[in-house]
Structure 1
């Protein structure tokens, strides 16, 4: 099985936060995009 299928979202989320903050965006904006893409709410993330 490919590594991407066994990687948990919790392990990559901090990397996404670091990247968006480096690019001048906020964690709240990242959460909004992830919620829109996945259909999860804040509690589900």
Structure 2
């Protein structure tokens, strides 16, 4: 995946999680994405730190 694509993916994920996801759902999503791609998962989690 190119850097621009990865940026859009992170933006989409964080946008959806900010749209009313509970803390428990966000934590599961962070772990899910970290399991798929550690860099993407870390960026998603960092967006909520």
Report the TM-score, using the length of structure 2 for normalisation. Answer: 0.44
Which structure has greater helix proportion? Answer: 2
Higher relative contact order (CA 8 A, sep 6+): 2
